[in-house]
Amino acid sequence: MNTAELLVRCLENEGVQYIFGLPGEENLEVINALENSSIQFITTRHEQGAAFMADVYGRLTGKPGVCLSTLGPGATNLMTGVADANLDCAPLVAITGQVGTDRMHIESHQYLDLVAMFEPVTKWNAQIVRPSITPEIVRKAFKLAQTEKPGAVHIDLPENIAAMEVTGKPLTVDDNSRMYASYRSLGDAAMLIAKAKNPLILVGNGAIRSKASQALTDFATRLNIPVVNTFMGKGVIPYTHPLAMWTIGLQQRDLINCAFDETDLVIAVGYDLIEYSPKKWNALGTIPIIHIGENRAEVDSSYIPRVEIVGDISDALNEIMHRVDRSGKPDPHALHLRPSILADYEQYADDEGFPVKPQKVVYDVRQVMGAEDIVISDVGAHKIWMARHYHCDRPNTCIISNGFAAMGIAIPGAVAAKLVYPNRKIIAITGDGGFMMNMQELETAVRIGTPFVTLIFNDGGYGLIEWKQNIHFGKSAHVKFGNPDFVKLAESMGLIGYRVKSAIDLIPTLKEALEQSVPTVIDCPVDYRENMVFTRKVGDITCAI
């Protein structure tokens, strides 16, 4: 047995189902070892696509997604997806091939110090310098990738080490035991909540990672406290729940920000500061905060908790709920915002403008998707509309790259989502800019049999940057480009292509596309004049509630 074969055995021991990546000269031994493995190797068309697949796999399953590249340009291509997973707290293990240790001290073809290069974008990374340490390296990598806050780790395997003979076996996989909050912190939190007149819950992705959806919903319902979610906290409480105040997270001030103006206590549950800066909702640092999470609060002048509850989130919420008496408390002020929020959402239901307004596109997507179905949003102007208007019944049914906000994640992410949930409807929502960054992975989707819909918001440019330029300078520059015929492009790759020709076409087109047995692409012209309409609208918001 050589080191590469031992590495693969260790990966099998960790329960790895898929490895996404590209074969190369310096990972030949690993590719060969995978031939006799239960692990399925998914050959992708670009290393960035492989890393994004591993990223979304990790986010949906809670288990590290694994991606593999060769050295040099293969490794640098991998980095964007690795960084995305790390900042979005998705467990991921990246494995790179490397030159032999016998030529690292001299100038060598394609050699880069990958351990140094990956250090800023991972929780931990290491090179396997002796065959015998492989089981320890792999076990540590998976343990750290999954430990709160989860993230990316990196293993570098030199080609001569990979080929060396070794004896050894995988290490036992230990359970990540839960920690529980102190009784004192639970009691202190209960006292603050009991006294608050207008408390507000701010829930983030940590609550999804901790599977605290039911506990959070019970907590809010029992104590009658409204819930606001971050972009990455969608679905922790069903959007139809009467206490759900939907999403906060836009850089511009939105109606939901008014609730933070009136609150006298924010209960932050599984909230990571990277999801939405507290300076956007607590600029003066005057709002009292209770922090509930599996890690202590990050230091920020606008986020200084009165009480920190560190431990299992579901257990903490249940314990606090049984310690608090809020009987006789009137409805919180924030609930008076809900009719306005609902009206803003519903007004686009019957809009027939063409090109289609982005709000209408998002509204129609919601109508065709079930509670368990999944949308993967790319990054661009459409992400803002998805974040604001796409609402969820269940956690992890709207995947948004937010910490790193990397363009190109939607199509590879949809491949991974369909592998994890083959019986669910999956839609990759992307702009025409993001589509062209990783559309090559549609060939991967055809080849491995993962049918999903790619819906393109087509405006012929980088719409989000044009929006920002118009806000700052009143004009735009260098944001327009040409596009191929997306329908013909899809058909040339063995997909089915559609083009939306009117607003009323969209729902029937989506329904037909979702029934196909091969991936489909929908080209939908979008009216991004709505971007500046929205900017003016939120600029006029007053908060008399």
Residues 207 and 300 in one domain: yes
Helix-helix angle 441-448:410-420, to 10 degrees? 20
Residue 116 domain-assigned (yes or no): yes
Per-residue b/e over 46-58, b at no fewer than 16 CB within 10 Å? bbbbbbbbbbbbb
pLDDT band at 537 (very low <50, low <70, confident <90, very high): confident
Residue 251 domain-assigned (yes or no): yes
Residues 353 and 484 in one domain: yes
CATH of the domain at 122: 3.40.50.970
Given 276, 308, 332, the domain boundary residue is 332
Residues 220 and 142 in one domain: no
pLDDT digits (tens, 9 = 90+) for 252-285: 788 888 899 999 999 999 999 999 999 999 999 9
Reduced 3-state DSSP string for 473-516: HCCCCCCECCCCCHHHHHHHCCCEEEECCCHHHHHHHHHHHHCC
Residues 244 and 154 in one domain: no
Structure tokens at 3: 């080191």
pLDDT band at 541 (very low <50, low <70, confident <90, very high): low
Residues 206 and 116 in one domain: no
Residue 538 has what pLDDT?
79
Q: What is the CA radius of gyration of the chain?
A: 24
Residues 316 and 373 in one domain: no
Residue 422 — φ and ψ, nearest 5°? -65, -20
Count of domains forming the chain: 3
State the pTM of this model: 0.96
Structure tokens at 136: 């320890």
Residue 318 has what pLDDT?
97
pLDDT band at 323 (very low <50, low <70, confident <90, very high): very high
Residues 309 and 356 in one domain: no
What 3-state DSSP class applies to 436? helix
* Beta carbons within 8 Å of 9's beta carbon, 6+ residues apart: 169, 170
Residue 365 domain-assigned (yes or no): yes
Residues 92 and 206 in one domain: no
pLDDT digits (tens, 9 = 90+) for 341-350: 999 999 999 9
Given 302, 332, 362, the domain boundary residue is 332
Residue 341 domain-assigned (yes or no): no
Instruction: Print the domain residue range for 127.
Output: 3-163
Residues 34 and 137 in one domain: yes
- Of 464, 458, 454, which Cα lies nearest the Cα of 484? 458
Residue 265 has what pLDDT?
97
Adjacency order of strands within the sheet including 453-458: 398-400, 374-377, 426-431, 453-458, 520-525, 496-499
Residues 355 and 326 in one domain: no
Distance, first Cα to last Cα, the chain: 70
* CA angle, residues 390, 391, 392, in degrees to nearest 5: 130
Residues 406 and 293 in one domain: no
pLDDT digits (tens, 9 = 90+) for 41-80: 999 999 999 999 999 999 999 999 999 999 999 999 999 9
Residue 73 domain-assigned (yes or no): yes
* E strands, 36-105, in order: 40-43, 65-69, 92-98
- Of 75, 130, 73, 71, which Cα lies nearest the Cα of 99? 71
CATH of the domain at 305: 3.40.50.1220
Given 94, 129, 163, the domain boundary residue is 163
Residue 544 has pLDDT above 60, yes or no: no
* Beta carbons within 8 Å of 279's beta carbon, 6+ residues apart: 300, 302
Q: How many helices (H) does the chain have, and how many strands (E)?
A: 22, 18
Count the neighbouring beta carbons within 10 Å of the beta carbon of residue 316: 25
- Of 400, 407, 403, 406, which Cα lies nearest the Cα of 374? 400
Residue 536 has what pLDDT?
86
Residue 411 domain-assigned (yes or no): yes
| Long-range contact pairs involving 274-282 (C-beta distance under 8 Å, separation at least 24) | 274/87, 274/402, 274/403, 275/204, 275/205, 275/230, 275/231, 275/232, 275/233, 275/249, 275/402, 275/403, 276/230, 276/231, 276/248, 276/249, 277/302, 278/302, 278/303, 280/251, 281/202, 281/248, 281/257
Residue 249 domain-assigned (yes or no): yes
Q: Distance from CA of residue 472 to its chain's centroid?
A: 28
Adjacency order of strands within the sheet including 152-158: 40-43, 18-21, 65-69, 92-98, 152-158, 124-127
Residues 97 and 219 in one domain: no
Residue 106 domain-assigned (yes or no): yes
Residue 540 has what pLDDT?
66
pLDDT digits (tens, 9 = 90+) for 201-219: 999 999 999 999 999 999 9
**DSSP 3-state percent helix, strand, coil across the chain (nearest 5):** 45, 15, 40
User: What is the pLDDT averaged over residues 503-527?
Assistant: 98
